[in-house]
Chain A
């Protein structure tokens, strides 16, 4: 038995050494052969924090990493255009839960294990994020940020009004109305109103699901049913208690309104929790409580990460350099460096969540809320290659309803569902 263990251990060490040697060999053989490594990304803290470390990667591969930063919708549009036209300008693409199905079905990205060296330990990625990055059992992108939803609330306002932390949607609705005080520049609620599958649709979907909504029935869109109408009406009602301009708010507007002290309740992606505790930018440090979204609201699972483009990285050296970049940029070491720089919002690895450095940076209450919300986190959007189109079009009619351009909820959703039928037919 002891011998077997020793043999297994030896085999593991040899394998690890071989893998390491292979990666080194790749870097040596390809050094200088990829003059520029083009990366498309969104300006998340995990991305912008890479800037000061890029020198070491450039040195290793004799390359220059160029990261193009774009807003979410623009990033999605540009990377899709790049892959679909065969332009292949980007070796590494930023990918997320909304467009993964499309990218996999179009065969635009490599499976992660095929391109990322083993030394970067893919198994250490958080399971909830890896699940979002996986299609049919194959993981395609390395997640560095993601999670689910958390309800953030102003403890001081709730205390002043004598309101308990809501545990149901009805209680939340009542609390939002009770804390709304526009004359004092304080609003009960904020949410995303701006069109987009990753914008208003993303925040509306938990309400839709809470009402029992399903996207498809017998492969036909049914989100224009009673659940869709009820969810939309409730969302519109809550927007009455939100800051002016909420009909076109994106996530940034909403988060800034909350940490600017204008809002009592906000249900947003859990990564924004640490943003509230940033003393340089937040006016509500120490005043924010964190809890899972009240029942029956589910939590919208999401993940953003990097994948290697088959269209952009089509030579062995490009693939090796791009794969190594993805592994390096999402490694345990990089996450620890971010924590050392005070960035606690973008965590993709289990080992980082368990580290003392992480626990020192965020309130214990936030970690408790994270753990509690993970049980109700799942992918709530339609997992279909046509989703970006369907979601964006649904987002458009929702924005029309939120802004008052139209007021017939049922007919607006009917129109979006009709459009979705067309989109789904094209996929077939």
Chain B
């Protein structure tokens, strides 16, 4: 047997299983989206595209879409910026391996925390009356700040927790990548009297373009799955200020009216939108990396 058919045969069972799982669940969701099934009653009728058309008139759906996009951009950009900045800072200032390793260990702790636990910890830290952040702000005459109750601050406050968890983790990855880079181009730049920021802007970071794009994609996918964090910290509130699409689908399908078909329609639209968006981003990223 030649190599290609052998590889195909080896992969076939796993691919078939994955395809079946995906097809059954997506197929089920599409079928539900075409019905008017609610959790209150087992009876349902075929309503065609009604649920999709209703979504186009739904103010909360568009709000949730907007919040999801802002959340995605903010958390991905924030995580990568924090990771790049901290990695370079540590690379340049902490030279002893033991201190670097200790820092890396400390930076791994947040991402090891379960999301729900992290959410509860930060909810308490943010508390206007009992939280330590407001206590510290109070010492310098600021506040109390309603981090999670103020619509203009709530999304950013939750995003900070996400960035805290993932940004520090990515810092460790980038730091280790910086350590593995060949020294020659960096030394050549130093001989040309390049400043530190110039070395990183024009030498090291371009050399890490591929891994950084991968990290961006990983984070983008991860940010889509922030339901637990937002649910525990704000429940989508105040009002709809932090209500992302998955949260709105949950509120409509499970938590509120049990409009499971409507929620399914929303999920299908979310699937289509993210598939298109990620395909475009993936292709653009590959072109840029090359």
Contact residues of A with B, CB < 8 Å? 73, 76-77, 80-81, 84-86, 102, 105-106, 185, 193-195, 243-248, 257, 260, 262, 385-386, 388-389, 392-393, 396-397, 399-400, 402-406, 423, 426-427
B residues 94-130 with Cβ under 8 Å of A?
Answer: 127-130
Q: Determine the chain A residues whose CB is within 8 A of the CB of B146 once the complex forms.
A: 244-245, 247
Using a CB-CB cutoff of 8 Å, which residues 236-290 of chain B contact chain A?
237-241, 251, 254-259
* Cα–Cα, bound, A193→B151 (Å): 13
Q: Determine whether the beta carbon of A388 is less than 8 Å from that of B256.
A: yes
Is the Cβ of B149 less than 8 Å from the Cβ of A248? yes
User: Would you call A396 and B240 a contact (CB within 8 A)?
Assistant: yes
B41 on the A face (CB < 8 A): yes
Q: Are B129 and A403 in contact (CB under 8 A)?
A: no
Contact A262 B256, beta carbon cutoff 8 Å: no
Q: State whether A392 touches B256 (Cβ < 8 A).
A: yes
B4 close to A (CB within 8 Å): no
- A386 and B258 CA atoms in complex are apart in Å by 10
* Structural contact, B129 and A257, CB atoms closer than 8 A: yes
Contacts of B144 in A (CB 8 A): 244-245
Q: How far is the CB of A25 from chain B (nearest CB, A)?
A: 35
Contact A248 B148 (CB under 8 A): yes
Taking a contact as CB atoms under 8 Å apart, the answer to whether A245 and B129 are in contact is: yes
A405 to chain B, nearest CB (A): 4
> Does B5 belong to the interface (CB within 8 Å)?
no
B256-A194 in contact (CB<8A): no
Besides A195-B237, A403-B149, A426-B38, 7 other A-B contacts (C-beta < 8 A): A84-B39, A244-B128, A244-B149, A245-B127, A247-B146, A399-B239, A405-B151
Cross-chain contact A245 with B255 (CB below 8 angstroms): no
25 CB-based A-B contacts, threshold 8 Å: A76-B255, A77-B254, A77-B255, A80-B254, A80-B258, A81-B258, A84-B39, A185-B129, A244-B129, A244-B144, A247-B146, A248-B234, A248-B238, A260-B130, A262-B129, A386-B257, A389-B259, A393-B257, A396-B240, A399-B237, A400-B240, A403-B239, A403-B241, A404-B151, A405-B238
Q: Given the interface contacts A388-B256, A392-B256, A403-B151, does A102 sit within 8 Å of B128 by beta carbon?
A: no
How far apart sit A260 and B127, CA to CA, in the bound complex (Å)?
14
Chain B, residues 143-159, CB within 8 Å of chain A (1/0): the string is: 01110111100000000
Main secondary structure of the interface of A (DSSP, over half): helix
Contact A402 B238 (CB under 8 A): yes
A246 to B258, Cβ gap below 8 A?
no
Distance, CA A194 to CA B128, complexed state (A): 15
The distance in angstroms between the C-alpha atoms of A81 and B235, with both chains bound, is 19
With contact pairs A245-B149, A248-B237, A399-B239 given, residues A392 and B255 touching in the complex (Cβ less than 8 Å): yes
Minimum C-beta distance from A362 to chain B (A): 27
B13 at the interface (CB under 8 A from A): no
CA distance A105 to B40 in the complex (A): 9
Tell me the complex Cα distance, A204–B212, Å: 51
Closest approach, in angstroms, between the C-beta of B14 and any C-beta of chain A? 29
Distance in Å from the Cβ of A165 to the closest Cβ of chain B? 26
Report B-chain residues with C-beta under 8 Å of the C-beta of A85: 39
* Chain A CB within 8 A of B141 CB: no
Q: Are A80 and B39 in contact (CB under 8 A)?
A: yes
> Within the complex, what minimum Cβ distance (angstroms) separates A98 from chain B?
12
